[in-house]
Structure 1
Amino acid sequence: MEGSANERLDFGKMGYGCKHYRRRCRIRAPCCNEIFSCRHCHNEATSMLKNPFDRHELVRQDVKQVVCSVCDTEQPVAQVCTNCGVRMGEYFCDICKFFDDDMGKLQFHCDDCGICRVGGRENYFHCKKCGSCYSIGLRDNHLCVENSMRHHCPICYEYLFDSLKDTAVMKCGHTMHCECYQEMIKRDKYCCPICFKSVIDMSRTWKRIDEEIEATVMPEDYRYRKVWILCNDCNDTTEVYFHVIGQKCGHCRSYNTRAIAPPVLPQ
């Protein structure tokens, strides 16, 4: 390949790759010895195997061999092809064995997470208790939940910690995909699917329910019945008058409550 050293390094940049990454190499999966464009391509392919015992995911750090997409030479993991001299990824992480030509993602490796992130190191911090990188806007401004990202999205069930999709951190500290969160709100679901706490300010809704209850008189047989409730928002238990529209927490004034005993007449 003729040209200057920089021209050789940049040859084919953004011209190769898959739907997940622009890169000038493919990887040999050490788990099944097959070649794939990236680990996501591998995981998608193996998840479709008929035999469930054959399904598996690739551990990124275990990759030892890559194949240059320009000259088709297989070689040990490195940023520059030993044969044709192209840079197989403008961004390269030797820890994650990760290549990417699209530098607009502002990739960086987080030692605490143990994986590469996108969005620019200066825009994120690692929360030790939550066990993941969060936007700097959440520093000292979120409720910590231990290992909050190391679980599956409660809506679509994709693993969140290394998902390619953006993640939302709710008021309660639990996490889910941003697009799943928006879809949940669009469907008028305002409680965390994990802990059932309200995820937005519901004060206007509580005021509207107050007005509905005041305008709706209960039948004589139920007017003085009481019920024990548990508040999902503050975890307080209260004995309140039963109403068919809803029961209001006596502590935080929320209607995000559930009965823990059937309504009874006062003694």
Structure 2
Amino acid sequence: YVVRQLSWEHGHVLCASVNYLRTVSLYVSTNALLAIAIDRYLAIVHPLKPRMNYQTASFLIALVWMVSILIAIPSAYFTTETTLVIVKNQEKIFCGQIWPVDQQLRYKSYFLFVFGLEFVGPVITMTLCYARISQELWFKAVPGFQTEQIRKRLRCRRKTVLLLMGILTAYVLCWAPFYGFTIVRDFFPTVVVKEKHYLTAFYVVECIAMSNSMINTICFVTVKNNTMKYFKKMLLLHWRPSHYGSKSSADLDLKASGVPATEEVDCIRLK
């Protein structure tokens, strides 16, 4: 649709469904990142407070989805197909949100609400959380003589800080062009109407925004954490020779980690 033809040919129902599900997934990604930031803040900055239990975690996940589903309802209701004349005798069908002229004020209010709730608010909150986490992990002095194990723990802390800052930076870089383009398009329409490649620019910035979910997954998986630990454990259990059968799982975990067991626990606790 986007790369080859730039024209929608799949009907109104599928058009509304695709736009709605896409919008929900984007909001879920944003709200999940916000929930993770708050959870890490509570776990690292206030380690003595009780961690969330299974019921609280389930409620938080349900809340993330419910908020995203409710906020995205207008995107499905106002999604429609519109025929655009690109050049003479060449028409293309655009699938997207088109609000009636008499509801432009409501649309702008809705967009500003979403902009504040799904971008400005999360960015400010995550910045404050990760700044406080960075202060706790990076600048907090480690008591006692700095042995090799302590130096490894410090390197693990710095790696965690870089990961958190990278996730926040990627989020801002991916979503800022999307919201910036939308603001210019909706509040200053005369600027983009004259542009020949308006639709192409729209899909490019939208693709950049959606790529944030992929970037987050890569960051979480590639950095050494529980995901990579258990992935290596699964590979060892599947491919290990028969003479490893007498060895304990703790020995296999130690070989997979490549660092002392206490250091591995410290790194996981920090994250």
- Structure of larger gyration radius: 1
Higher strand share: 1
Higher helix share: 2
Fold shared by both chains (TM-score > 0.5): no
Q: Which has the higher contact order (CA 8 A, sep 6+)?
A: 2
TM-score (norm 2): 0.24
TM-score (norm 1): 0.25
